[in-house]
Structure formats: C-alpha cells, structure tokens
C-alpha cells in the first residue's frame, strides 16, 4: 500500500498521520525571486545597480545570528519582521544603496509578507487538505504568515509560528508547541520542508518527515544539496508530488 514508506527502520506506517506542518520560506514560497522582483522596481525608481539575488541570499542567511540572540532569555525575543529590518539596514549600507525613504524601506521589508508561492504550492496544498490538517510551522511571525496566506491564497487550517513558542526552529520547543496545540502525538504529524536540518529536528522528536526538493531556492546558479537522507519518510519533487505520493 502506498501509505508505507521506507525509513531506516524499514517500513513506516503513514496511515496514522493526521496533520502536516510546513516550513514556509523556501519550501512553500520563493523568497529569492520575490525579493529580486521588488529590488528591480527600486532599481528602476532610483537608478540603482544592485545584484538583488545576492542581496536576497545575504538577507536570508544573515538573520540566523539574530534569531539565536532572540532566544537568549525571556526579554530578548524579537520577531523576524524586526530581524529582517535590522539586516536590511545593514545590507543597504553594505551595497551602497542610498536615497530610499523610510516609507520605501518599510515597504521593502514587507516583501516577506507577500512572497510568491512556487507554482505547485497552492494546488498541492488544496489536494492535501482533503485529508490532512495543514499548518505552517515557520520562523516567520504570525502576522507575516497571515498576510502571506491572504495574498497567495495558501489554504492553511492553522498558522503556527515559532513566535508562539518564542523559540526559533530548529529549537525543539517550536516543534513541541505544534504537537501541543494540534493535540497530536509526534507520529501523527509530518513535517514538510526543503531543508534537512528542519526535518532532522522534527524527526528527532518522532515526527514523520517529507523532504521537498527546491533546486531553485538559492537561484539558478546555486548547486544546492538535494541528496535526501534515507531516513526521510517521503522525498518529493514538489508539493503536488507529495500529494500524489500520499494518494491524493
């Protein structure tokens, strides 16, 4: 039967899965091309010559230290809206981008609220929703995820964010918060992500895992690591393929 999948322990029964929790940035939406498109509009308006793809990669990558700092103690929490803005200000300096008004900076930072979904995301989610509770489990803050879902018509049943646990993935508190609020055991939840570290953290707590390949996450010239760990329960080329493999 299709609802069995090879894992390191042999065949895993996926029939118990009741909810899918999704990583969002990179897995469901294409942040890089969304940022490049927005950057090009700024280039046109201000006569800027910027490698927006490179800036997008840096914007994403350089947030991690701030996320780790945000978890130091109860009073140090900041959400990703604030982190993105701080990193943006740094990048504008580094790239010599001058002349943007405060309003334009605020708007540019909001690009993360309006990222484009990959072409397979909405049709794939719609199919999966017929059987599974669909939830985000993202480091994006709640308002960002809500704005994005409204804009891109992502059919989430539930928005779950690291913000609710005050702990950024891959901190186990984020995944445990999801199990707690879904009122499910780990083996009843499948984490879906394009990033192996995210899946491994979920797997460590007993989640089922689905690896979705996103070869273009880091742009057309990147050579991403798409080798799927043999221990992932499902390896899918995209979210429609995931639905197909789950017989939906």
Q: Note the residues at the interface with a copy of itself (CB under 8 A).
A: 79, 81, 133, 141-143, 146, 149-150, 157-159, 161, 163-164, 181-184
Closest to a copy of itself by CB, 129 or 218:
129
Shortest Cβ 142–a copy of itself spacing (Å): 4
| C-beta neighbour count of 46 within 10 angstroms | 13
Q: Which is nearer to a copy of itself, 149 or 191 (CB)?
A: 149
User: Residue with structure tokens 């322990």?
Assistant: 9
- Minimum CB separation of residue 3 from a copy of itself in Å reads 21
Share in percent of the chain as helix, strand, coil (round to 5): 45, 15, 35
What does the alpha-carbon distance between residue 207 and residue 179 come to, in Å, rounded to a whole number?
A: 9
User: How many angstroms from the chain centroid is the CA of residue 220?
Assistant: 19
Residues 203 and 190: their CA atoms lie apart, in Å, by 9
In whole angstroms, the minimum distance from the beta carbon of 187 to a copy of itself comes to: 16
Q: How far is the CB of 231 from a copy of itself (least distance, A)?
A: 28
Neighbours of 128 (CB within 10 A): 22
Give 113 or 214: the residue with its C-beta nearer to a copy of itself. Answer: 113
In 3D space, the residue among 138, 135, 248 whose CA is nearest the CA of residue 183 turns out to be 135
- Residue number, 33 or 161, with CB nearest to a copy of itself: 161
CB of 18 to a copy of itself, least distance (A): 10
143 or 176: whose CB is closer to a copy of itself?
A: 143
């Amino acid at each position: 039967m299709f609802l069995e999948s090879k894992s390191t322990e042999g065949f895993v029964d996926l029939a118990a899965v009741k909810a899918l929790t999704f990583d969002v940035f990179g897995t469901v939406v294409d942040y890089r091309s969304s940022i490049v498109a927005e950057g090009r509009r700024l280039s046109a308006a201000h006569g800027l010559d910027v490698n927006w793809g490179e800036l997008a990669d840096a914007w994403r990558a350089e947030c991690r230290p701030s996320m780790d700092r945000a978890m130091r103690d109860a009073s140090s929490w900041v959400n990703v809206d604030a982190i993105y803005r701080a990193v943006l200000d740094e990048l504008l300096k580094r790239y010599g981008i001058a002349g943007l008004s405060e309003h334009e900076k605020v708007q540019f930072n909001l690009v993360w609220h309006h990222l484009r979904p990959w072409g397979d995301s909405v049709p794939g989610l719609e199919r999966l929703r017929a059987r599974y509770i669909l939830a985000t489990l993202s480091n994006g803050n709640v308002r960002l995820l809500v704005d994005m879902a409204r804009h891109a018509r992502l059919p989430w049943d539930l928005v779950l964010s690291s913000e609710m646990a005050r702990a950024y993935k891959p901190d186990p508190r984020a995944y445990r918060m999801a199990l707690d609020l879904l009122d499910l055991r780990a083996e009843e939840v499948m984490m879906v992500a394009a990033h192996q570290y995210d899946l491994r953290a979920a797997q460590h707590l007993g989640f089922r895992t689905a690896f979705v390949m996103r070869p273009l996450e880091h742009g057309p010239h990147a050579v991403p690591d798409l080798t799927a760990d043999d221990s992932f329960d499902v390896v899918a080329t995209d979210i429609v393929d995931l639905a197909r493999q789950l017989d939906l």
